[in-house]
Amino acid sequence: MVVDQRIVLALVCVLFFKIQLSFEQTLNSPLERDALLKLRSSLGIRSKEWPIKGNPCTNWTGVLCANGSVSGINISGFRRTRVGSQNPQFVVDALVNLTRLTSFNASRFRLPGSIPDLFGQSLDSLRVLDLRFCDVRNAIPLSLGNLTSLTSLYLSGNSLAGSIPSSLGQLVLLSVLDLSQNSLTGSIPVSFGSLANLTSLDMSNNFFSGSIPPGIGTLFKLVYLNLSSNQLSSAIPAQLGDLSQLVDLDLSFNSLTGSVPEDLRGLRNLQRMLIGNNLLSGPLPVNLFSASSQLQIVDLKNNDLTGSVPNVLWTVPGILILDISGNNFTGFLPNVTVTANATASRLNISGNLFYGVLRPILRRFSFVDMSGNYFEGGVLDFVSENASLVSNCLQNVSNQRSLSECASFYAERGLIFDNFGLPNSTQPSAEKSKGKSNKKVIILASVIGGVGLILILLAILVLFLLCIRKRGGSTNQRGVVVGPAPAGSAPPPPEAAVSFSSLGDTFTYQQLLKATGDFNDANLIKHGHSGDLYKGFLEDGIPVVIKRVDLLSIKKESYLVELDCFSKVSHLRLVPFMGHCLENENEKFLVYKYMPNGDLSGALYRKTTSDDDSLQSLDWITRLKIATGAAEGLSCLHHECTPPIVHRDVQASSILLDDKFEVRLGSLSELCPQEGDTHQSRITRLLRLPQSSEQGTSGSATAMCAYDVYCFGKVLLELVTGKLGISSASEAQLKEWLDQMLPYISIYDKELVTKIVDPSLIIDEDLLEEVWAMAVVARSCLNPKPSRRPLMRYILKALENPLKVVREENPGSARLRTTSSRGSWNAALFGSWRSTSDVAVIPAGSSTMQEGTSSLKHSGTSNSGGSGQNGGGDHSSSHRRYSREIFPEPSEGQNVERQGQV
């Protein structure tokens, strides 16, 4: 009996293995196996993923088979072989033999080149095509419109250019269409109104112009619509209000005009409404929002909206973020006494015309910015500690509006400003008005006498300075040697002046000991110049970086400067500050959010996980993203803070990177407000004398801001060349590097820059233009004269649109200037970065012409070979007309200084 059971068990096992073998997928067609082998070779797939002797259906990663044929290929994130990475191309011709292929996913696998027509001509069964972040470029082929079975098309994060073919409107089964983060131009095709099954449409971060097609409002299945960061104009179509299934609407950062349509009240399921940073005007419709709304985020900032805010908007129960800053809203806040329903809810109504006393509505929000309005009276006890209330008419709050401003504002609206219960000193008395007439004669005589005295003194001063110039005519006037950070910075605020209560959480010393394992050396990240940095984990598992400031060896001012900065400046590009521990007398601790990708100095090249100890270089798209993010942070400090703030420690190690390589500026202990006489440069220029600001970095406000610009230029050069340490090099080493590199940066010769580009970067002709543009911007930043370096806001715009730095203006630019209030500014912004110091020392044998002495040329958006507005096709330097709006000073003749002498 036992023997019989063993026999039965053996027979069952044999039968099981036969069944398993029968279900094992194998390729029926030798033609398909041959196609996979050719694809393996043309793409440079490693043996680790696709072993040459293995069964593709079972042993090849990402290959799916069905009924003996290949049905899906997923090479997302694969790395090419060493040979394949030397000359990567978009060569997938072998796919034509995979006739039953339904899915092709190559996201984050480099495929430099154009999308082959074979996708639309031969792969009729394709349902999913994913080419995100593949370095694909040029135009979208018309043939993609033949893929009538396609349900998902992902083309984001590439360098696609040109207009969208209207044939994509034939993809009637399409559910997801993602064309974001490219360089696509033209208008949104009207044929998109035929994509009735579309649930997600993302066309953000391109250069689309024109209006939003009303047909988008007929895509009733649409859940996600993102058209942000383009150049769309005209009004928001009322038809969008018919998208009852829409959850996420983002139309921000365009040039949309007109009022917000009342029909948008039909978006009953909307959770995110982002229409900020446009040119919208007029009042908000009263019934735009309902009490039963699903809204969680409402962003209307930086438009020209007027009138009062609908009361129901303040009471929408699910609101987490409400930002209506930078408009012209007016009126009282409603007296709503609801309690907080979210621990991280935010309200920003700054830069409007709200007035009256503060209201209990603030109880709803844990972070409040009400600055730049006209609220009066004292600060009530219910106002959040995380509130910014400056530039109002409030009592006992620093940096408020003057009494005359407040009284004038209230008088214009027929309201009474009570001056905090004191007599209104801004109202002129009868006695004062009577005395005005008697003083006119005295004032007039004083002015005439003063002008005469000034003219005499000025003549003496000119003669005196001319004598000095004759004596010192042989001195070197090459400009400033940029060395240590500017001296003479403003002292840090006293500890009592910093409001610690509004600066994140307060940690105990025991919490930080536990987070870092008693500050174990294994958790030490590095020894910073303002304290040691340790990685740690809070009790809830959140990774953090803890700076340990030893006051016995480091100045107390270093940590106070950072705390003062975080108490006054809030920007996404600054390293997120989580809290502090100040209970120890000789040690202070600052806690920041952990940045998974470290800093730029360590992220530019990373060791791979392979066994060959090779280094993986950051791709160009990521490098440009990092440069733009850092410029955005510095632009905030320079242009959005009052007074402007100088970073003073801009280098690769202070540019921190989160998990998505978004930039967060660190090393904030050297911050200082901009100081100096801003009119000094005008006076010295009038007298044709060297600027004092050019004799040292601490001379004037321009010189201090220019110090950051100069340091940022070194960072840009490090990104272009891949040479680690440029931004932190000593003066001698930096001079040597600049002497070697700057001669190869010329606005007139793109090919020169290839001699200094990081050899690990694999770039084609289009990307080379972006590299060239960044190098030109870097050179302008490294100008030896601080007054000739561009402002950071112009640098930011140039990096956001690098092709406009090096390409000629096309006729479309003129139309833009006449159709947008921002047009004239944009047209002047993207000019040639040909400062008077941009005279390159060209190596022997180079055919490039010498750079001219003009400050700026107008440039357009696309046509590198087109003619400028001056007419004709002659683009020689002698026939160009230039704008002088980027640089703060006019040209003073040809400057033959070498950029390396900085």
| Confidence tier at 427 by pLDDT (50, 70, 90) | very low
| Confidence tier at 14 by pLDDT (50, 70, 90) | low
pLDDT at 214 over 90: yes
Give the pLDDT score at 864. 34
First to last CA, the chain: 97
Backbone angles phi, psi at 639, to 5 degrees: -120, -15
| Confidence tier at 536 by pLDDT (50, 70, 90) | very high
How many Å apart are CA 383 and CA 378, to the nearest integer? 11
3-state secondary structure of 800: helix
Percent of the chain with pLDDT over 90: 32
- The answer for residues whose C-beta is within 8 angstroms of residue 313's C-beta and 6 or more apart is 284, 288, 289, 298, 319, 322
> Interior CA angle at 185 toward 184 and 188, to 5°?
95
- For 415-440, letters b (16+ CB in 10 Å) and e give eebebeeeeeeeeeeeeeeeeeeeee
State which of 9-18, 408-417, 823-832 shows the largest mean pLDDT: 408-417
Closest to 305 (Cα-Cα) out of 329, 289, 322: 329
Higher pLDDT, 834 or 447: 447
Cβ atoms within 10 Å of 154's Cβ, excluding its own: 20
pLDDT at 517 over 80: yes
- Taken as a whole, the chain contains a residue count of 902
Give the pLDDT score at 641. 85
- The DSSP bridge partners found for residue 154 are 130, 178
Give the pLDDT score at 5. 65
Question: CB-based burial of residue 306 (10 Å sphere; 0-12 exposed, 13-18 middle, 19+ buried)?
Answer: middle
- As a whole number, mean pLDDT of residues 246-261 equals 94
How many Å apart are CA 637 and CA 568, to the nearest integer? 11
Give the pLDDT score at 699. 33
Higher pLDDT, 261 or 583: 261
pLDDT at 846 over 80: no
> Are 147 and 115 within 8 A, CB to CB?
no
> Are 151 and 174 within 8 A, CB to CB?
yes
Catalytic residues: 649
Higher pLDDT, 258 or 427: 258
| Confidence tier at 844 by pLDDT (50, 70, 90) | very low
**Where do runs of H (alpha helix) occur along 523-611?**
557-568, 600-603
How many Å apart are CA 104 and CA 256, to the nearest integer? 37
Tokens describing residue 450: 């003063």
The gap from C-alpha 574 to its chain's centroid, in whole angstroms, comes to 12
- As a whole number, mean pLDDT of residues 184-194 equals 93
146: amino acid identity, one letter: N
pLDDT at 364 over 80: no
- The secondary structure of residue 12, as a DSSP letter, is H
Closest to 350 (Cα-Cα) out of 331, 330, 326, 329: 326
How many Å apart are CA 234 and CA 220, to the nearest integer? 23
pLDDT tens digits along 31-55:
888 889 889 888 989 888 888 888 8
| Confidence tier at 432 by pLDDT (50, 70, 90) | very low
3-state secondary structure of 151: coil
Give the pLDDT score at 713. 95
Give the pLDDT score at 463. 78
Backbone angles phi, psi at 612, to 5 degrees: -90, 10
Closest to 357 (Cα-Cα) out of 323, 381, 327: 381
> Are 855 and 883 within 8 A, CB to CB?
yes
Tokens describing residue 897: 């200084």
Tokens describing residue 115: 């999308």
Tokens describing residue 432: 């004062």
pLDDT at 183 over 50: yes
- As a whole number, mean pLDDT of residues 871-885 equals 33
Higher pLDDT, 13 or 589: 589
Q: Cα separations (Å) of 432 from 225, 406, 428, 589?
A: 62, 21, 6, 56
Higher pLDDT, 396 or 537: 537
Cβ atoms within 10 Å of 890's Cβ, excluding its own: 9
pLDDT tens digits along 766-803:
788 899 999 999 999 999 888 889 999 999 999 998 98
How many Å apart are CA 716 and CA 708, to the nearest integer? 12
pLDDT at 728 over 50: yes
- As a whole number, mean pLDDT of residues 484-496 equals 47
How many Å apart are CA 466 and CA 449, to the nearest integer? 26
Give the pLDDT score at 751. 87
| Confidence tier at 326 by pLDDT (50, 70, 90) | very high
> Are 794 and 888 within 8 A, CB to CB?
no
Higher pLDDT, 828 or 760: 760
Closest to 253 (Cα-Cα) out of 272, 216, 271, 280: 280
- As a whole number, mean pLDDT of residues 797-817 equals 64
Give the pLDDT score at 132. 93
Output Rg (C-alpha) for the chain, integer angstroms.
Answer: 32
Tokens describing residue 2: 């036992």
Give the pLDDT score at 22. 39
- As a whole number, mean pLDDT of residues 487-515 equals 68
Give the pLDDT score at 302. 93
> Are 218 and 191 within 8 A, CB to CB?
no
Backbone angles phi, psi at 535, to 5 degrees: -90, 140
pLDDT at 541 over 80: yes
pLDDT at 835 over 90: no
3-state secondary structure of 415: coil
Range in 297-311, 361-375, 422-436 the model is least confident about = 422-436
How many Å apart are CA 242 and CA 594, to the nearest integer? 43
pLDDT tens digits along 644-674:
888 888 999 999 999 889 999 988 888 888 7
DSSP sequence for 748-781: TBTGGGGGTS-TT----HHHHHHHHHHHHHHHHH
Indicate the helix (H) or strand (E) that contains 435: helix 430-471
> Which residue is listed with tokens 């639309």?
120
Indicate the helix (H) or strand (E) that contains 63: strand 63-66
| Confidence tier at 421 by pLDDT (50, 70, 90) | low
Give the pLDDT score at 608. 58
> Are 219 and 196 within 8 A, CB to CB?
yes
| Confidence tier at 17 by pLDDT (50, 70, 90) | very low
Give the pLDDT score at 9. 65
Indicate the helix (H) or strand (E) that contains 394: strand 393-394
Name the pTM for this structure: 0.51
Percent of the chain with pLDDT over 70: 73
Give the pLDDT score at 543. 92
